Structures are given as structure tokens and as C-alpha cells.
Structure 1
Amino acid sequence: MNKLSPILKSLLFPFSLLYGLIVSVRNLLFDFNILPSTEFKIPIISVGNITVGGTGKTPHIEYLITLLKDDYKIATLSRGYKRKSKGYILADEASTSYQIGDEPMQIKRKFPDILVSVDKKRVNGVKNLLQSEHGTDLAAVLLDDAFQHRSIKAGLSILLIDYNRPITQDYIMPYGRLRESAGEKDRANIIIVSKSPENMTPIDRRIIVKELDLLPFQSLYFTSLDYGNLEPVFRDNAINIINEDWDKDNFSIILVTGIANPKPLREYLENFSDLVEELKFPDHYSFGTKDIDLIHSKFEHLKGENKIIVTTEKDATRFYDMDINHESIKKHLFYIPLRIKFLNEDKSKFDVQIMNYVQKNKRSSNLHNIKTDSI
């Protein structure tokens, strides 16, 4: 919940009612086919949320890519939030975060052999993918942040819910953090409770299952965040860092983030250093020269025998594309990859559900029979 004063919250509540009414009417128009949803003759998996702020969409998209890429030709399609371009773009080796956005750029750098595309109009984006030279081999499209984008009817819809911000205890924005009512979760085929504690007890799990009150066709899974090893942003310039040789009491870190919620990463870094200073910027922030100068100044005045700058993998994509003049930043700038980990037996069940969906619905399958007026 937002930490607002009671007076301000009471003033925002009527706006939440109005916004909620508008969103509910829009959803009803889609439910009754007054507003059209396009279906395609190809497996389409949507990954999204109904909460403002990060729920871990990109790591979950990357997990799906890793799961599918060895057996199928796949593509990702996202809006490309805060990119400086317009229309449909299929990323290539020359693409930058300014052209396609930071999250698609992160995916393209990590998985250069898959198709990464952006288009604000998702229907147009899928049409362009299918009509491209790669279209005949394409086996599935992963839609990023598309739970509200109902102009496409995904064959499999995955809804992410942050364990720390239960949607059943939240409200429509701006009073709360929900983009639409918690009841819209019923549109999802799969619900994943992300950022769950690894030591979640069976009773905690049962409480969440009861609160969500799933429909018979819905599957529920739990994932936690898993931080990888430090990686240099500028590999050719970076110092050689061996974490085991650096003691916690003489190891200093500046954490630079442009994400919705950097708190978990800061808490993780505090396991390795007694001195973690932080520079927080807005989500998807576009760093400029003055910001680089500020980071450099902060780094130069940082105490400790050994010190580095740490950022997120998403933020690193924007630093890649910058002309940074300070060599000390290039030498000491690292990022931490973020992965997801399924709890208990969820991984095998989830993998089977995804693979079965793609296999049964790929275009070469006789079982596939989806109507579309486009492809």
C-alpha cells in the first residue's frame, strides 16, 4: 500500500472509484466482444500483472525463453517502454536501449538468437512478426506486460502477483497500487506469486491459496528471486574482482538503480558490505551526463580500501549505450543478474504445462484450430 496521509488517501479514494469504473466498463466491452480481441494461429503466452511497480516480469520472460528456445523458434513482443522510437521494430545486433527500451535490450543481449520486437500496438506487432522472413518458422510469441492489452487474446495468460503486495488486500490506483480490480485475476490461466520467501511454510502457502480463491482451470505457482554473481558492465575495462578476497568491513558499494523497488537488492548487498550507499532514480530512468558526473563524484568520495559501483541488469543496458568519459566508472561498474527460482515441486509442473501448451497449439499441430481475421 502507498504510505499516504489519511487525509490525502481519503481525497484519492473517489478518483480510484472513478478509475475502477472506467476499467471495469472497458473489460466488460471485451468480455462481451463489443471491443474485438484478435486471435492468431500460433501459441501466444502473455506475462503481466495488475499492480503498479515491478513484479519480476522480465526474469519470468527470460525463464520462458530458456525453457523454450532449444526446441522452438520464439519471439518476444513488448511495448518498449520509454524508448525514443515509434512503431514496430525488430531488434538486431545494432539496436540500442534508446530504440527498443531497456528490458527488450536486456533480453536481446542475453539471448541474441531469438526474435525481440517492440510495438505499442500488439496486434500489429504480431502481424509483423508472422509476415517477416522468420514468420514461417516462428513457434510461439511471448507478450511482455500484456495482461491489460486485451486487443490480443493470448492462448495462455500468466499473471504475476508480488508476495509482498497481495492484490486481495490492495485497492485501485491512485488510492492503492492496482491497475484494475483484484477480481480480474480470473482472466489468467496461470498465477505466479513472485518474490516469495524461499522458506515459505505450507501454512503460508495455504493462506494465499485460500485468499486467491482460484477457479478450477487456473494453476498457481510460487517463485523467489535468485541473484547471480557480479558481472562487469564494461568487460574490457573492468577490474578483476574476486568476492572471496574482499572482507565485508573494507568493501564499499554504491548502488545505482532506476527500478521500481531497489530495496531487496540493497538488502542483498548488505550481506557483503557494511557500507552500501545508494543513488535511486525513477523506474526506466534515462541516465544523462550530469548523472554520470554525480555517480563519479559519489564514488570518488566513497570510503573503504576496495569499492565498486553496482547496478541492476536492466539499468546496465542503458549504461552500455552511453559514452562514459570517466574511466573509474567503467572499471568499477558491475551488475547483478536476476533469475527466478520455483519453490518446491512447482518447476517441473510449470515446465510441463508450458511445453504441452506450445506443443499442442503450434501451427503444425492438427489440434490447433484458432480463428483469426488476420493471419
Structure 2
Amino acid sequence: MVIDFSKILNKQQRQNIANAFLTPFSWLYGTGVWCRNAAFNAGILKETSYDVPIVSVGNITVGGTGKTPHVEYIIEGLLANYPQYHIGVLSRGYKRLTHGFVMARDTLTPRDIGDEPYQIYHKFLGHIALAVCESRRKGIEEMLKIDPAINLFLLDDAFQHRYVKPKVNIVLCDYNRMPYNDRLLPLGTLREPMYRMVKQADFVVVTKCPNDIKPIDIKLIKEKLGLFPSTELFFSNVNYGNPVPVFPRANVKLDNLSWMSSDDFILGLTGIANQRPFVKYLRQFQAGVRVMHYDDHHDYTREDFKDITRVYSQHKGRRKFIVTTEKDAVRILNNAYFPPEMRDYIYYIPIRVGFLNYEDREFIPELVRRIQA
């Protein structure tokens, strides 16, 4: 006999049972994290410093804080205003099918270097060097051998990778999931306790803030984070651009989602860690919306595209489009299984980071000041 607890217990009771079950595992995880950090702090595990300044962009939660658009914002700001920097970007290349050190080049695909590194590399093609490697130390050393002109490194998602000692640590926090309201894995989404961010972050950026965030909210966040006076605190938001065809030669135009009416239909397609802001964005328009969500960095299969095409065909609409994220677009563009007959109808929404005017400071000049200190 199988007991369906969902019919016996309410949501809060089920959550309490799950919390009780997961709490010992969270304690064990926290103990392991504490021991590892203590080993680094005591010098048992060694951090390596380099003559080239290194900026780490990371977080203390599992995914979804906006690391890639912030890395792109930093690259764009440095290229525009500080041309003396020859930037090297180093990432792990999550969910790539290769192993070890791989230097990005035009002939490689997202499967070779990962979707986010591929996106960054092609967005700044010819202006940066980029590589992927599980070992950040090996990655830095190999990149310097190949391109000795690199004089600034950006490490993507490297706050937990303590074998490299960065000159500047940037830690991102999601406004909708602040660390002081969270718990350690697997009870919550924290990779490590908030105190390490407080102790070792040079910059904390609260991401995905509402455009109309109140001064009192900023004050409360600042108080609850409890950062040192030397830590720079910034607030950023996400700005969505107009739709862009995934396949550049699309014959059916979709210039602006606001032009769609209630007679139109959007099939949202996401394979990202936190799809909620993107879905919320799609639902603000008049068109009917259905969303198909896959795991973060999902590698779409032939069967996935059959399901997507079936759902798309079932829905009626005067005009119908598939609208996806920029990260998903990278994987779809390079996927041979995507149906050719659907290429005219799939668009992605580009996103850009914007920094809120907080205490009349600008992020890029403050970052450069820390790099040069």
C-alpha cells in the first residue's frame, strides 16, 4: 500500500518533514565547507598568487545570480574605457563534453567549451582571450604561455576555487533570494556560509533588483548583509532587449513583443537555473504564453525538439513564436536537431546589466581602482 502524503499533510507540514530530514545533511555539508576553508586559511591548502591581476566573479549560492551578464558588463566597460587591458577570461566550462584546458577559437561549439563561455567569446570576438579549464591555476598558466600579452584575468564562478588568490573578489547575490534568508545545501541553496562572503568579498553586487527599489530597502539590505566598511556594495538590475532571431536569416519578423496582441501566442523555452524573471517578463505582454522549462545548461535532443514542435503546433495564434533566452539560443543555433521549418519562428531576448545610481558611484571605475591598488 502506497500512502499519498500530499493528501494527508498540508504544504507547511510536508516542508517541515523535509527540513527535518535534510538538516543533518546540511550540518555535514557545512562541516566539510568549514574544514576546507580552515585548511586554506591555515596554509595547509595553498593559494597561488600571480603577477597578473585576477578578478573573480562568483556567488555563494547555487546558480541563477547573473554571473555571465555581469562578466559581459565588466568586459564591455573595460574595453570601452580602459583599453590598456588585454583581458583573459577563464571559466570551468560547465557541462562541456571536453576535459582539461581548451583555448577558445572560432571552430569550437558550446559542447567544446560550454554555452556561457561560447556566448562571451563570440560576443567579444577578437577583443578578448578565453579558455576553459577545471583547474584555474593550470588555465591561467596555459593562457599566459599562449598569449603573454594578457594583463588582466576575469575568472567566472571562482569564489569557491580558492587555489587561485584573486586581486579582487566580486560576489553576486540575487535580490529575490538573499543569503541571510537562505540555508546551506541541501536544506537551502547556499554553497557556503554568508560569513565568508562578508570576510573575503571586495565587492558585493545585489542583482536582479526591481527598477523602483526603495531607499529603505537598500538600507535594510545593507544592514542585514553586515559588510565591512571596505567592501563595496552595488545594486544592479536586468534590462531586456528587443527580440533577436536565433537564426540570423529568419524571414518572419518579430521586432518587439509589445506589438503582439491577445490573439498571438508565445512559447517560452528555457534551460537556465532560474527561469522566473524571464517568465515574468514574457507574461507582461498581451500574447498568450506557455513555457517549457528544462534543466540549466540543458543539451536539447531530437526528442526535445519533437515535443517543443508538438506543443507549438497545438496552440492557436494569429502570430506564433518561440521565445528563448540568450544562453539557450547559443545551444539551439549549434544544434543540428532543431527543425529547419521552425527557424523563422524562434527568437531570443538579449539581456544587459544596469547598475542603479547608489551613492553616486560607478562600478567600473571603482573596480579599476581596486585592480590598480
Same fold flag (TM > 0.5): yes
Structure 2: tracts of 5 or more residues without a match: 1-10
TM-score (norm 1): 0.92
The aligned counterpart of 1:19 is: 29
Quote the Cα distance in structure 1 between the aligned partners of 2:138 and 2:179.
31
Q: Does 1:172 align with 2:184?
A: yes
Q: 1:49 aligns with which of 59, 83, 104?
A: 59
The answer to whether 1:147 aligns with 2:147 is no
Q: Per-residue displacement from partner, 1:215-263 (whole Å, max 9, x unpaired)? A: 1221100001111111111011342223378432122100111111111
1:354 aligned to 2:367? yes
Aligned position for 1:333: 346
C-alpha distance in structure 1 between counterparts of 2:290 and 2:296, whole Å = 18
Q: Once structures 1 and 2 are overlaid, which stretch shifts more, 339-348 or 259-268?
A: 339-348
Read off the aligned partner of 2:289 and give its amino acid letter: V
Partner of 2:71: 61
2:141 aligned residue = 127
Is the 1:252–1:273 Cα contact (8 Å) retained in structure 2?
Answer: no
Partner in structure 1 of residue 110 of structure 2? 97
Q: Work out whether 1:156 is the aligned partner of 2:151.
A: no
Residues in 1 aligned to 2:363 and 2:351: alpha-carbon distance in whole angstroms: 19
**d(CA) in 2 for partners of 1:245 and 1:168?**
37
| Structure 1 match to 2:286 | 273
The share of aligned pairs that are identical, in percent, is 39
Report the CA distance between 1:345 and its aligned residue. Answer: 4.0
The one-letter code sitting in structure 1 at the alignment partner of 2:66 is: G
3-state DSSP class of the match of 2:262?
A: helix
Determine the structure 2 residue equivalent to 1:76. 89
Q: For 1:8 and 1:340, how far apart are their aligned partners in 2?
A: 36
Separation in 1, partners of 2:71, 2:328: 17
Aligned to 2:256: 243
Q: Which deviates further from its counterpart, 77-86 or 301-310?
A: 301-310
Distance 1:325 1:64, change over 3 A: closer
Task: Determine helix, strand or coil for the equivalent of 2:362.
Answer: helix
Aligned-pair CA distance for 1:270? 1.4
Say which of 22, 44, 48 aligns to 1:38. 48
Work out the CA distance in 2 between the residues paired with 1:64 and 1:158: 11
Larger RCO, structures 1/2 (Cα 8 Å, 6+ apart): 1
For residue 308 of structure 1, give the secondary structure of its aligned residue in structure 2: strand
| Contact 1:251–1:307, Cα closer than 8 Å, also in 2 | yes
CA–CA separation in structure 2 for the residues paired with 1:347 and 1:54: 27
* 8 Å CA contact retained: 1:76, 1:144: yes
The alpha-carbon deviation at position 356 of structure 1 amounts to 2.3
CA distance 1:81–1:325, change in 2 (3 Å): closer
- The amino acid across from 1:158 in the alignment is I
Q: Show CA shifts across 1:165-217 (max 9, x none).
A: 11112111101110111111121100000111111111110000100111122
For 1:299, the equivalent position in structure 2 comes to 312
Q: 1:346 to 1:144 in 2, by over 3 A?
A: farther
Counterpart amino acid of residue 57 in structure 1? K
TM superposition shift of 1:33: 1.3
Q: 1: distance between equivalents of 2:260 and 2:205?
A: 37
Q: Where in structure 1 are there 5+ consecutive unaligned residues?
A: 362-375
Deviations 1:276-329 (A, max 9, x none): 111110111110111111111111122110010011101111111111452332
Q: Is the 8 A contact 1:258 1:281 kept in 2?
A: yes
Aligned-partner Cα distance in 1 for 2:257–2:65: 31
Kept after mapping to 2: 8 A contact 1:74/1:140: yes
- The amino acid that maps onto 1:119 is C
Aligned partner of 2:173: which letter?
Answer: I
- The answer to whether 1:204 aligns with 2:217 is yes
Contact 2:243–2:350 (Cα < 8 Å) also in 1: yes
Paired residue secondary structure (2:151): strand
Q: Deviations over 1:88-133 (max 9, x none)?
A: 111111110000001001111211121111000000000011111x
What's the Cα RMSD here? 1.7
